[in-house]
């Protein structure tokens, strides 16, 4: 692939990344209203897609940051004949 084509591809990628995707408008339903809409959907009655969506906020699933702990013994450690470690 020549350099000109690579530049065109990178520009197209940047242009596509700028486009905002259309997001569904979720109705801000409380829990009983949302459950009622989902039950109606499972019963086969007409329920709009927006009624089945619900805005839920949560703190996230990432663990809090901590310093990386040493997971291996450093190269100075070797096993002795009893299975323990000693430094040389």
Taking the C-alpha atoms of residue 11 and residue 81, their distance in angstroms, rounded to an integer, is 63
pLDDT bin (cut points 50, 70, 90) of residue 82 is low
Mean pLDDT of all residues in 38-64: 79
Mean pLDDT of all residues in 3-31: 72
Residue 64 clears pLDDT 60, i.e. is over it: yes
Mean pLDDT of all residues in 41-50: 86
Q: What is the DSSP string of 15-41?
A: HHHHSPPPPP------HHHHHHHHHHH
pTM for the structure as a whole:
0.37
Residue 3: predicted pLDDT: 73
Residue 51: predicted pLDDT: 81
């Amino acid at each position: 692939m020549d350099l000109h084509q690579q530049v065109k591809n990178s520009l197209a990628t940047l242009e596509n990344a700028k486009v905002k995707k259309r997001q569904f408008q979720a109705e801000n339903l409380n829990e009983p209203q949302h459950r009622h809409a989902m039950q109606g959907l499972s019963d086969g009655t007409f329920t709009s897609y927006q009624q089945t969506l619900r805005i839920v906020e949560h703190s996230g699933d990432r663990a809090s940051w901590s310093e990386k702990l040493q997971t291996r013994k450093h190269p100075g450690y070797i096993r002795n004949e009893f299975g323990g470690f000693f430094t040389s």
